[in-house]
């Protein structure tokens, strides 16, 4: 295990672990203060958010390999460290599986055929609901558990392969590791796409199991990419501020990642607009109800915040070249995008918690604090995993075939 010889010493991961444990402890406190439902929702949001980050990172690593990209080699090393968080995320998913097997109706009412829909303005029980029985081959606890476990296994496996290939190459400088990564990336992208789609449908979309939209997984993918890129930018600038990346990171790297952030801002808007617009225009009640409940109470303003904060604001700032290469400003934009992704996930998860009238619970309520705690807690563990991995390897993949290109990266205008 070699550490960085003369660059700043590797940061100690201990603090992140403390933050993680503290966050988790606080969110557990919510269990006693506001009840199990609040905790379950908070935990699901926290998990979905950090899985989105890790999946975005996984996709970016695979896309890097499949394009044989040059400029992003040193960023990829940081992503590879981040991929170590998958193992811990799998572990942190256990509470949700416990909920699924013991108190499923906290989140997924379809898991309990005896669940009384009348409590929230429906009729009969889930078991009598034809809209559930038709899809019970997919929406059942065994499939939920099995698919989740398989997905985590796939992600952990892919993460381990890319990490091993890259880290081993530092030592032996063998080209076969790069070629192996390329092959695994080609196969891994469809695999990750399918697992991502299934998981987001099972975890989040099914919280409102009557509703359906073919675009949903693409929407989640867009968020994964946005938050993954934001993380990449934050890590790059953080390492630059610490001094590790001084003399390595240049404006062109900043510009390129900024362009990708911009592109995926547009992509997110495209996907989200299309989904909303098609449902709005067709005006079929079995679809529109999902958006209708999100226009009641303060959810309307959350929706507007998403429209402006998730699209217009990043779009209008990231479009400018000087912004994209501004190392002071960009981390703020990245943090902002990441928090709006979190809000987007809240927007998708929270309104399925209803009050007796059938309306969703308001967004701004005391329970929000447990959500924030869960996000900080799980995030702390992810950061801890990243920092632990960070200390074990070279700062950049010194034997990567494209590292030279990355370090001398300068781009033409039009090519």
Partner 1 sequence: MAHAESTAHAQHSHPILSEVNPVEIPRAVLIENKRDFAWITEKICGIIEGKTPTWWWVLFIAACFVASFTVAGITYLVSTGVGVWGHANPVNWAWDIVNLVFWIGIGHAGTLLSAILCLLRQKWRTSINRAAEAMTIFAVVCAGIFPVFHVGRVWFAWYLFPIPNSNAIWQNFRSPLEWDVFAVSTYGTVSVLFWFVGLVPDLATLRDRFANAGNKLRARLYGFFALGWRGSNRHWSNYEMAYLILAGISTPLVLSVHTIVSFDFAVSLLPGWHTTIFPPYFVAGAIFSGFGMVLTLMLPLRAIYKLEDLITQYHIDCMCKITLATGTMVGYAYGMEFFIAWYGANPYEGFAFINRAFGHYAWAYWIMIACNVVTPQFFWFKAVRQNTALVWILSIFVNVGMWFERFVIIVTSLARDFLPSSWGYYSPSIVEIFTFFGTFGVFSVLFLLFIRFLPIMPMAELKAVSPQADPHAGHDHH
Partner 2 sequence: MSTQPYGLIAMYDTPAAAMHAAEQVRDAGYKFWDVISPFPVHGMDRAMGMRRSRVPRISICGGLLGFTTGMSLIWWTGGYNYKLLVGGKPFFSPLFAFPVSYELTILFTAFATIIGMFVLNGLPMHYHPVMKHPTIHRGSDDAFFIVIETRDPRFNAANTRSLLEKTGGKEIAELES
Residues of this chain that bind partner 2 (CB under 8 A)? 273, 277, 280-281, 283, 321, 410, 412-414
Tell me 104's DSSP state. Answer: G
* Nearest approach, Cβ of residue 355 and partner 1 (Å): 26
Query: Minimum distance between the CB of residue 259 and partner 2, rounded to whole angstroms?
Result: 14
Angle between helices 73-82 and 36-67 (to 10 degrees): 150
Q: List the end-to-end C-alpha distance of the chain, in Å, as a whole number.
A: 40
The residue (of 80 and 287) whose beta carbon lies closer to partner 2 is 287
Shortest Å, Cβ 250 to partner 1: 10
Distance CA 279, CA 148 (A): 29
CA 360 and chain centroid, separation: 24
Say which residues have a Cβ less than 8 Å from residue 81's Cβ, sequence separation at least 6: 386, 387, 389, 390, 393
Site residues (vs partner 1, CB under 8 A): 4-7, 67-68, 130-131, 134-135, 138, 169, 173-175, 178-179, 186, 190, 193-194, 197, 201, 212-218, 246-248, 259, 263, 266, 270-271, 274-275, 277-279, 281-282, 284, 286, 394-396, 398-405, 407-408, 411-415
SS3 354: strand
Please state the separation of Cα 362 from the chain's center in Å.
24
**Looking at beta carbons only, is 156 or 278 nearer to partner 2?**
278
Judged by CB, which is closer to partner 2: 321, or 332? 321
Q: What is the DSSP string of 213-225?
A: -TTHHHHHHHHHH
Q: Which helix (H) or strand (E) holds 48?
A: helix 36-67
Q: Find, among 192, 269, 187, the residue nearest to 223 by Cα.
A: 269
Residue 4 touches which member of partner 2, partner 1, none, C-beta under 5-8 Å by kind: partner 1
> With CB cut-offs between 5 and 8 Å by kind, which of partner 1, partner 2, none does residue 358 bind?
none
Quote the least distance from Cβ 412 to partner 2, whole Å: 5
Closer to partner 1 by Cβ: residue 1 or 414: 414
If contact means CB under 5 to 8 A according to the sort of partner, which of partner 2, partner 1, none does residue 402 touch?
partner 1
Q: Which of partner 1, partner 2, none does 175 bind, CB closer than 5 to 8 A by kind? A: partner 1
CB of 140 to partner 1, least distance (A): 13
- Contact partner at residue 394 from partner 1, partner 2, none, CB < 5 to 8 Å by partner kind: partner 1
Nearer to partner 1, 52 or 192 (CB): 192
The candidate with the shortest Cα–Cα distance to 395, out of 58, 122, 170, is 170
Is the C-alpha dihedral spanning 406, 408, 409, 414 positive or negative? negative
Q: How far is the CB of 305 from partner 2 (least distance, A)?
A: 17
Residue 357 interaction partner, one of partner 1, partner 2, none, beta carbon < 5-8 Å per kind:
none
Q: Which one, 94 or 414, has the nearer CB to partner 2?
A: 414
Shortest spacing between CB 294 and partner 1, in angstroms: 15
**Least distance to partner 1, CB of residue 147, Å:** 13
CB contact at 8 A, 169 and 399: yes
Sign of the alpha-carbon dihedral angle for 52, 390, 64, 311: positive
Cβ-based nearer residue to partner 2, 319 or 368:
319
Q: Which is nearer to partner 1, 123 or 413 (CB)?
A: 413
Output 319 or 329, the one with its CB closest to partner 1: 319
* 3-class secondary structure, 357: coil
Q: Is 44 helix (H, G, I), strand (E, B) or coil?
A: helix
- Report yes or no: 23 and 373 within 8 Å, Cβ to Cβ: yes
Residue 321 contacts which entry, partner 2, partner 1, none (Cβ below 5-8 A, type-dependent):
partner 2
Helices (H), 173-284: 175-203, 216-242, 251-282
361 SS3 class: coil
Q: How far is CA 406 from CA 243, 249, 252, 324, in A?
A: 18, 9, 10, 18
Q: Report in angstroms how near the CB of residue 369 gets to partner 1 at its nearest.
A: 34
């Amino acid at each position: 295990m070699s550490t960085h010889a003369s660059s700043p010493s590797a940061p100690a991961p201990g603090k992140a672990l403390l933050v993680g444990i503290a966050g988790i402890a606080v969110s557990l406190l919510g269990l006693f203060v506001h009840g199990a439902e609040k905790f379950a929702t908070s935990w699901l949001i926290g998990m979905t958010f950090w899985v989105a980050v890790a999946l975005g990172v996984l996709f970016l690593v695979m896309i890097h390999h499949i394009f044989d990209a040059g400029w992003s080699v040193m960023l990829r090393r940081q992503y590879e460290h981040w991929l170590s968080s998958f193992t811990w995320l799998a572990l942190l998913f256990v509470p949700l599986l416990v909920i699924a097997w013991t108190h499923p109706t906290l989140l997924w009412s379809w898991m309990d055929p005896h669940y009384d829909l009348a409590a929230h303005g429906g009729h009969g029980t889930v078991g009598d609901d034809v809209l559930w029985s038709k899809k019970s081959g997919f929406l059942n606890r065994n499939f939920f558990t099995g698919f989740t476990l398989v997905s985590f296994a796939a992600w952990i496996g892919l993460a381990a392969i890319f990490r091993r290939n890259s880290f081993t190459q530092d030592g032996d400088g063998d080209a076969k590791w790069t070629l192996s990564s390329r092959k695994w990336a080609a196969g891994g992208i469809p695999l990750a796409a399918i697992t991502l789609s299934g998981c987001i449908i099972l975890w989040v979309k099914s919280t409102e199991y009557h509703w359906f939209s073919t675009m949903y997984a693409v929407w989640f993918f867009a968020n994964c990419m946005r938050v993954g890129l934001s993380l990449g930018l934050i890590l790059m600038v953080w390492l630059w501020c610490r001094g590790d990346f001084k003399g390595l990171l240049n404006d062109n790297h900043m510009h390129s990642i900024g362009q990708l952030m911009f592109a995926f801002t547009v992509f997110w808007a495209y996907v989200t607009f299309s989904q909303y617009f098609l449902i709005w225009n067709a005006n079929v009640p079995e679809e529109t109800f999902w958006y209708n409940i999100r226009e009641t109470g303060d959810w309307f303003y959350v929706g507007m915040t998403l429209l402006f904060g998730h699209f217009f604001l990043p779009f209008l700032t990231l479009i400018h070249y000087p912004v994209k290469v501004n190392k002071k400003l960009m981390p703020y934009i990245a943090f902002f995008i990441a928090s709006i992704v979190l809000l987007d996930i809240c927007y998708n998860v929270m309104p399925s918690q209803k009050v007796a009238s059938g309306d969703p619970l308001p967004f701004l309520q005391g329970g929000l604090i447990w959500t924030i705690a869960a996000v900080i807690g799980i995030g702390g563990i992810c950061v801890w995993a990243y920092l632990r991995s960070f200390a074990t390897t070279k700062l950049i993949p010194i034997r990567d075939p494209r590292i030279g290109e990355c370090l001398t990266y300068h781009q033409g205008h039009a090519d």
